[in-house]
Structure 1
Amino acid sequence: LAYGFQPRLDEVSVEGIRTLQGEDVAYAAAFGYRIKLLARVAKSGDEIEVGVAPTLVPMSHMLASVNDAFNAAWVKGDMSDYTMYYGRGAGRAPTASTVIGDIGDIARNLAHGETRYSRAVKTYGEGTLRLRPAGEISSRFYLRFGVVDKAGAFGEIATILGRHGVSISAASQKDEKVRHGFVPVVVLTHEAKAAELDAALAEIKASRVVGDDPVKLRMI
């Protein structure tokens, strides 16, 4: 709607919440963040960034207070700066309202002799804009590792991150208890490209200084 550009669904980077655990919610809160499932759209030059992912939002941000059946859209305009649109997005009545609206659109089109689907998004931007590859999108990241309980293990993780251009802004061992030989360690990074971070995480996993796959969440 904003840029007249409609990517194919299989081109959009989508990350769910299956890797999240209650400890991630607690760790995020300790750093002053809440975890929200965000869809993002942004334009940079002739490229459009599109994606959906659980994201750490500062508690001071208005989106951090959107809970339960409510949804919100946070928009930055060239002249209007930031605005937020907020309302119910789930539940029986809001869902019924949307369905009835769709039925009304179909009935109106049929009444005017339209039998084909009318696209809601006018793709005036297609041909002049392109989708930015997911790996080229930059963000700050929250990382949670189960680190082997031995001297130098975290140092090796930091070295690998640095080798791939990912710098650490904060790190904390959030739980002194060793679980199955691994210690939970949380890292917040400075802004980095997703592809560079993914390459670093693959090398970290191969180094055998961590247990399960690291948890990776975006931050704003």
Structure 2
Amino acid sequence: MTINPNFKNIPILIKGAGDLATGVATRLFHAGFPVAMTEIPAPTMVRRAVCFGSAVFEGKITVEDLSAVRVEAEEIDDCLAQGNIPVVVDPAAETLTRWPPLVLIDAIIAKRNTGTRINDAPLVIALGPGFSAGQDCHHIIETNRGHWLGRIISQGAAQANTNSPGEVKGQTKSRVLRAPASGHLTPHAAIGDAVQVGQLIATVNNEPALAPFDGVLRG
């Protein structure tokens, strides 16, 4: 994958490298834009097998036809030249000054603004709730499932956080498996496995985490 000469001077920095951020980065990189991403030292990602943020732990991850590589800020351009998407561990977003973007996209999906400002770049875009268009950023992209998903908001805010995962086959909050205790997690099933209700998925500090219903393990 190469940078389109027409877009080479339009660097785009994405804060966050979770599932939605990965989708954004993939689309922009395929279009030919130079894209870099930032993450925290221990990302809390869902669907980690399809998140470029997994490069923080693994060094490199490939999602479909693109690879993301963990690098330092000064290595961003070299990483892009090799056809990879750079991921920088940078919780303070210092990359903004070390690799100044023309476009900044906050795709952290924290459901609140963790520090993005409208003057961080000439164009600042945020995904999901927690931002005010015209105050925190120039535009917001609606992320709530439903009719307005993907809507560009130039004034006001996205729909409020529902505090509940989207419904899939009648399941909402039960789709999220929570740790039964604090401690080290030992997996007993792999992402993508078909599991049955009551099946052991993992243990945390020797406490079992069981499948609440039949389905496919994701995340």
Tell me which interval the TM-score lies in, with the shorter structure as reference length: under 0.3
Larger proportion of helix: 1
Larger proportion of strand: 1
Give 1 or 2 for the bigger CA radius of gyration.
1
